[in-house]
Amino acid sequence: MARFDFVTAGESHGPGLTTIVEGMPAGLELDREALDRDMARRQLGHGRGGRMKIEKDTAEVRSGVRHGQTLGSPIALLVANRDYENWVERMGPWESGEGVQQVHLPRPGHADLPGLLKYGFEDARNVLERASARETAARVAAGALARQFLEAVGVTIRSHVTRIAGVAAPAPDDLGPADFVGVDDDPVRCLDADASAAMIEEINRLRKENESLGGTFEARAWGLVPGLGSHISWDERLDGRIAQAMVSIQSVKGVSIGPAWEVAASPGSEAHDEIFHSPERGFYRETNRAGGLEGGMTNGETLIVQVAIKPISTLTKPLRSVDVHTKEPKAAHKERTDSTVVPAAGVVGEAMLALTLARAYREKFGGDHIDDVRAAIDAYRQRIAG
């Protein structure tokens, strides 16, 4: 079984973010422009804050790639924080920090207070810098590599925004990759023009009221072979792995595979996908209420993941809090913030889905070289074709 994993390191205002991806097969041709394109997509969306004007993220390859091809060894990527020069005194690894103002006012909804209590810190900046969603830049860099591996074996992943605050977009019964052409050109990455205009209006309205906004996005994957994941053990069930990966994204509070809440309200005869067979298509379904997963395994249909993200915890008009030193009531700490990150969260969701699926493919098909992986997939498809 091939091992596939990744790890990120770095703080929001530190020198930069690093990710190391292990388990990529050798011989995979990487597209440098596609890597930078995914980094830029994470910064999209109406309602983003001032930092998006400072950071123009790119991922610098430090190891594991030579002349545009993977070597099979760990791939290290560096995403520089261009604002670090203004934070050296506060965030430098060797500076004394004397005279630097500490953060004693934890923000409701953030990691500040639990982190202070857990690690025994006096300064919430020791927590909030790592807990910041800035960390997702490293995840997207890793996910861009996973996406290119998946595309090499016929898998496509896309996302779109389905709700911002009280404005929801219509839910089409079926979407293909071609339907997502131009989605990144929309200010909120929504596929419906009328809903997009209403979302933008809602962002503008609530931003003037010093509010942040949450919402939902949907990520889809096409071209998956059936049988990724397993019913054998709880930790091998792919739906569980996907749910954990999505909820690990900062501010995400809920995940469903397919239309879970609608299915929960339906009788059994309307909740499941009947099975058909033809010589041309093999086994197939005419509906996809399961969202492409049954019994912890992919079933060959489109994988559909719906994700709910809460409003950002940092508000321009802070909520009430308590000074952790004096225990006096005060307004919470205020950091530079966005109004909403739902459009960008969809891009992060794509990255986490790609990383989870890449792991599942590497576990199932192994292979030291990308050609070995493709050969194993072809052999598997032939075996299950009947």
CA angle, residues 305, 307, 310, in degrees to nearest 5:
175
- Condensed to tens digits (0 to 9), the pLDDT of residues 344-369 reads 999 999 999 999 999 999 999 999 99
Q: What is the mean pLDDT of residues 93-121?
A: 93
CATH number of 5-384: 3.60.150.10
Q: How many residues does the chain have?
A: 386
pTM over the 0.75 mark: yes
pLDDT digit string, tens, across residues 181-226: 999 999 999 999 999 999 999 999 999 999 999 999 999 999 999 9
Domain ranges of the chain: 5-384
Read off the pLDDT band of 54 (50, 70, 90). low
What are 31-46's pLDDT values in tens digits? 999 999 999 999 988 8
119-143 per-position pLDDT tens digit: 999 999 999 999 999 999 999 999 9
What whole-number distance in Å separates Cα of residue 140 and Cα of residue 137?
Answer: 5
